[in-house]
């Protein structure tokens, strides 16, 4: 077996292991969504049938402000999951992002595991590469290739220093990335989204990214899947996984900080599990809400299961809007959302 073939098999094993571990409840971190509560409006002065959950994202109209966040690719199982997610996203009118396409750029045979545009002809589709790859041979041309591979409407560059630091095969040279991200923003044919993968973006980092031309920021905050636990489990070092499991900025705080930055759109993600969490993220300042874990188990089964979960999430969002007297998504910014007093 050649070294390149052996590396390819190891990479596919890693992707498969990521899926298996991500489905385990022990890989989740408690969120702080429950610390926030809406003020109930007993007289909403609103017909529930008038509620409009639609938004525009990347020039396309969505039924609801929901993104099925970037998860996977690179294996046969991942290909089936991506197809199921894309079919459901199209059927339900929401956006969808694929997992990291890095290996598909190196091995064209893997591209098929990401190619979902035929199943998602009208909804926004987001490509994905690790920002750190800009220091490991990926330039603007590679970013453009990732976009062209799937016909993406935007490209997400993910930041994951903690994951890379713990991952056995991690790449941890994050030096001088801002100028390279700036070049991608200036030259890429589609908008650039920068996201974390579970540790959150701070307002300070968000402002630096906005200053180099990033127009869309994804909080991907603490409170959902712990990549520290996943990578530490893969490395056989559970102690490190637990030590860093709660490292990062909780999603509500990240959204608040990012939404204060002028001129950027915010995707609120990280530990979002239902329509009520979605409503809270929107009320805190998010323009769109991303979720991954709630749809992964369903995607292993069928597109119908994913669609059922999307429909349930949207209906929960509608109920919340009705009980806050809110007719539109933008109106949720005016709803009263309070952080509960911490028990002493």
* 137 falls within a domain: yes
User: Residue 11: what pLDDT?
Assistant: 53
Q: Distance between CA atoms of 237 and 314, rounded to whole angstroms?
A: 39
Q: Which residues pair with 47 in a beta bridge?
A: none
pLDDT score, position 303 = 98
Domain of residue 99: give its range.
Answer: 26-339
For residue 13, the model assigns a pLDDT of 62
Q: Which pLDDT does position 14 carry in this prediction?
A: 60
Residues 6+ apart with CB under 8 A from 41: 323, 324, 325
In a domain, 227, yes or no: yes
Contacts of residue 25, defined as CB under 8 A and 6 or more positions apart, other chains included, come to none
Phi, psi torsion values for 265, nearest 5 degrees: -100, 145
Q: Is residue 179 part of a domain?
A: yes
pLDDT at site 256: 98
Residue 18 placed within a domain? no
Best CA proximity match to 134, nearest among 95, 190, 179, 91:
179
Torsions phi, psi for 215 (to 5 deg): -105, -15
In a domain, 60, yes or no: yes
Distance of alpha carbon 317 from alpha carbon 50, whole angstroms: 14
Please tell me the distance from the alpha carbon of residue 162 to that of residue 174, in angstroms, as a whole number: 11
Domain harbouring 218, CATH code: 3.20.20.70
What is the separation, in whole angstroms, between the first and last Cα of the chain?
Answer: 62
- The contacts of residue 297 (CB under 8 Å, 6+ apart) are 23
pLDDT for 10 equals 45
How far is 210 from 216, CA to CA, in rounded Å? 8
309 occurs within a structural domain: yes
Q: Digits of tens for pLDDT over the chain (344 positions)?
A: 554 444 444 455 666 777 777 777 777 888 999 999 999 999 999 999 999 999 999 999 999 999 999 888 888 899 999 999 999 999 999 999 999 999 999 999 999 999 999 999 999 999 999 999 999 999 999 999 999 999 999 999 999 999 999 988 889 999 999 999 999 999 999 999 999 999 999 999 999 999 999 999 999 999 988 888 988 888 888 899 899 999 999 999 999 999 999 999 999 999 999 999 999 999 999 999 999 999 999 999 999 999 999 999 999 999 999 999 999 999 999 999 999 875 43
Q: Is 8 contained in some domain?
A: no
**Looking at the domain assignment, is residue 1 inside a domain?**
no
Residues 6+ apart with CB under 8 A from 243: none
For CA atoms 278, 283, 289, 293, the dihedral sign is: negative
Name 4's Cβ contacts closer than 8 Å, sequence gap at least 6: none
Q: Which of 216, 160, 164 is nearest to 188 (CA)?
A: 216
Number of domains within the chain: 1
Q: Under 8 Å CB-to-CB from 20, ≥6 apart: which residues?
A: none
pTM to 2 decimal places: 0.93
> Which contiguous run of DSSP H or E holds residue 90?
helix 76-92
Return the pLDDT at 258. 98
């Amino acid at each position: 077996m050649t070294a390149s073939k052996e590396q390819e098999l190891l990479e596919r094993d890693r992707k498969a292991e990521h899926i298996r571990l991500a489905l385990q409840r022990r890989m989740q971190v408690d969120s702080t969504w429950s610390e926030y509560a809406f003020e109930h409006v007993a007289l909403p002065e609103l017909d529930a049938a008038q509620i409009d959950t639609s938004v525009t994202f990347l020039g396309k109209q969505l039924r609801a402000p929901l993104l099925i966040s970037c998860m996977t690719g690179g294996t046969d199982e991942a290909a089936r999951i991506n197809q199921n997610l894309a079919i459901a996203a199209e059927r339900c009118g929401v956006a969808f992002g694929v997992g990291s396409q890095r290996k598909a750029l190196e091995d064209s045979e893997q591209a098929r595991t990401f190619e979902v545009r035929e199943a998602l002809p009208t909804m926004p589709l987001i490509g994905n590469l690790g920002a750190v790859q800009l220091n490991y041979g990926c330039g603007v041309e590679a970013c453009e290739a990732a976009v062209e591979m799937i016909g993406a409407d935007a490209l997400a560059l993910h930041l994951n220093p903690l994951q890379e630091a713990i991952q056995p095969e991690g790449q941890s040279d994050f030096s001088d990335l801002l100028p390279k991200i700036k070049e991608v923003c200036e030259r890429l044919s589609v908008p650039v989204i920068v996201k974390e993968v579970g540790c959150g973006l701070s307002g300070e980092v968000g402002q630096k990214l906005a200053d180099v031309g990033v127009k869309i920021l994804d909080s991907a905050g603490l409170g959902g899947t712990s990549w520290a636990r996943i990578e530490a489990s893969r490395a056989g070092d559970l102690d490190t996984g637990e030590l860093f499991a709660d490292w990062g900025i909780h999603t509500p705080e990240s959204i608040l900080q990012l939404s204060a930055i002028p001129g950027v759109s915010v995707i609120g993600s990280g530990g979002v599990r239902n329509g009520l969490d979605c409503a809270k993220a929107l009320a805190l300042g998010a323009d769109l809400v991303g979720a991954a874990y709630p749809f992964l188990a369903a995607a292993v089964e069928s597109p119908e299961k994913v669609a059922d979960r999307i429909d349930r999430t949207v209906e929960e969002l509608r109920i919340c809007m009705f009980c806050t007297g809110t007719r539109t998504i933008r109106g949720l910014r005016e709803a009263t959302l309070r952080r509960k007093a911490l028990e002493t």
